[in-house]
Structure 1
Amino acid sequence: MKRIFTCNNHLELQAFKEALNRVGIQHFVKNEYIFGAVGELPFTEAWPELWVVNEDQLEQAQQTCRETEQAMRADKPEWLCRHCGETNDGSFEFCWQCEHIVQNG
């Protein structure tokens, strides 16, 4: 097992977990429930970490995380859901109202 990503909050980590799920990379989160120990532990020791289970998938997992990070940092225009007509922030990959995936093009 190898660590592939760490961040200071679970919300940010969720996007990386979902990206790995989409490409079928088995992973787990270390320190998922330890944040309450901040103060007793150095805060960086309590940050959630994403680990890949199969080291043969390490390179693919790292690439997936890099692509996810780039996509998260890119400014994207709002988009209109083709299913329910709801306006969504450009950073959303699926509609917040009906959960349909964004359709590009």
Structure 2
Amino acid sequence: MVPAAWSLSEQKQRKKFQAAITNIPEDITIESLFPEGTSGPFINESNLQSFKIVQEQDGTRILIGYFATWKALSCRLAKNQMWKQTELAWCKHSTPSFRSPR
């Protein structure tokens, strides 16, 4: 999710500091991460600025998190995070480029 108030330059800046959890459990949803419309424990602990959930063609889902600083990203990559009884590992992620080479 990206805050609606973010400018285009802020949206581009967020791509610098991103990490992902691949093959996330089915019960990780926007609703479960934001119970009652406020950020839940998983979001608060992860120190995310924003996030999105992406479903791949094979059905697997990825949680992509955007961090405010390199330090926040590095701290998150250094330590796994718990979701209920499951330990999840964050890994470095970058947005794919769909530009054709010149």
Confirm or deny a common fold (TM above 0.5).
Answer: no
Query: Bigger radius of gyration, 1 or 2?
Result: 1
Where is the helix percentage greater, Structure 1 or Structure 2?
A: 1
Scaled by the length of structure 2, the TM-score of the pair is 0.38
